[in-house]
Structure 1
């Protein structure tokens, strides 16, 4: 028997009302699980870089660079560059307090008044810049698809694989307390991580202990320990490297099987309490305090399951850049995480 149109519309209306009520109930139940004090700031949405300048947290990502007041926890500045910048990969402040911006069209800088492209006859400065780093001498480093370069007094000095790079594609640069330079690449199956000190270099890959050759993140805090994040899609993990008399060796590895939120490690941070945070590509954030693991997801208030960058401010509050927004966790709530 054919249903009359009015009955079909009535049933459809009832279904829509019940669906809305059910979604509302699910949303309220979902929000009720969120941890107190956590806050999400949107925009910005996709966030790949964070850097703190006094009370302003600069956030860079797909839509450019914005400044977040860490007291008000809201956007108070949007940087307008000439030409415009998008898909920001890295931010760093130099000793003049200029903000350098690495993006898909090259290198730009903001001096507090205006933002403009770095001028150079070298076409490599108008191509994607993957990473930025300011070393202990105040020299600016860049990582590109055609090698790495450092801005010295005499000008830019470019490095290639003959100078110790693991590959021409460099997406991570860091320096340790001994002055040694770390270079990471994410062009698996090659990729890998190289450490160079006084013209002597060591290479790390899956052949000598890394979980994966795609290097995604690096954290250097102790003088003789380094954490490195690796992975690609559903493979990867983290490794701790330790220095001894003969160089650096892989001492420990972490995978999803023994505590990580997901196989691919997207970001690493160690806070002032010594707690290790490991962001995943799709599965949230893992927190390792001593031997105790805790996984945090959107159900806890995480803005997105992909955690791309983390930062702790002067007061111990935690800021997390994700694929869809910035998380703020107040210091007092951060300390309570270990109690739950």
Structure 2
């Protein structure tokens, strides 16, 4: 079955060869404004922006220029969450950012900023888990068919039924 799919894909690709005009490659580096030379994660969101997570921040590329973003300071660890481990755009279009030792943040497109998950917005039973997550190395992110966010850390995988509805600075 897999071989059939691969062969079918190869036949379609062979029938419609790409030309050099169809592709545009850009080399992005610190000289072009990238936050750091080590790009650790890359994702494309629903709006078409390319997000690049580095060891010193997060940048959004619109095809012409880079826009830097600083993630919020984690009040539990005192760290700015700017050592990006993983980026993930879920099926609803939400962009999630997993960081080193500072947990998980999400992009608030309405306010063009990033937010941390806030413990005060959760049920008391989930607050302890969120405090642990806020200090974890987030290494992987995925959603299941029910839309639940799964967060992989160095210690465990956590299911997170989160819907970011709060505003930046709230």
TM-score range, shorter chain: 0.5 to 0.7
The equivalent residue for 1:196 is 61
2:90–2:142: 8 Å Cα contact kept in structure 1? no
Q: Deviations over 1:95-151 (max 9, x none)?
A: 759xxxxxxxxxxxxxxxxxxxxxxxxxxxxxxxxxxxxxxxx9xxxxxxxxxxxx9
How many Å separate the matches in 1 of 2:24 and 2:61?
Answer: 21
Q: Deviations over 1:272-302 (max 9, x none)?
A: 2111111112x111111359xxxxxxxxxxx
**What are structure 2's unaligned runs of at least 5 residues?**
4-8, 12-17, 75-79, 120-128, 164-170
Instruction: Calculate the TM-score normalised by the size of structure 1.
Output: 0.34
Q: Does the C-alpha gap of structure 1 residues 185 and 261 become closer, same or farther in structure 2, counting only changes over 3 Å?
A: closer
The equivalent residue for 2:161 is 289
Larger radius of gyration: 1
Q: Does the C-alpha gap of structure 1 residues 215 and 274 become closer, same or farther in structure 2, counting only changes over 3 Å?
A: same
Q: Does 1:185 align with 2:54?
A: yes
Q: State how 1:83-232 maps to structure 2 within 5 Å.
A: 96=10, 157-186=26-55, 191-206=56-71, 208-209=72-73, 211-222=80-91, 224-231=93-100
Instruction: Calculate the TM-score normalised by the size of structure 2.
Output: 0.63
Please provide the CA RMSD for this pair.
3.5
1:205–1:213: 8 Å Cα contact kept in structure 2? yes
How far apart are residue 195 of structure 1 and its match?
Answer: 0.9
**What are structure 1's unaligned runs of at least 5 residues?**
1-52, 56-94, 98-137, 139-150, 292-340
Q: Does 1:241 align with 2:113?
A: no
How many Å separate the matches in 2 of 1:153 and 1:262?
Answer: 44
Q: Which structure shows the higher strand fraction?
A: 1
The equivalent residue for 2:131 is 258
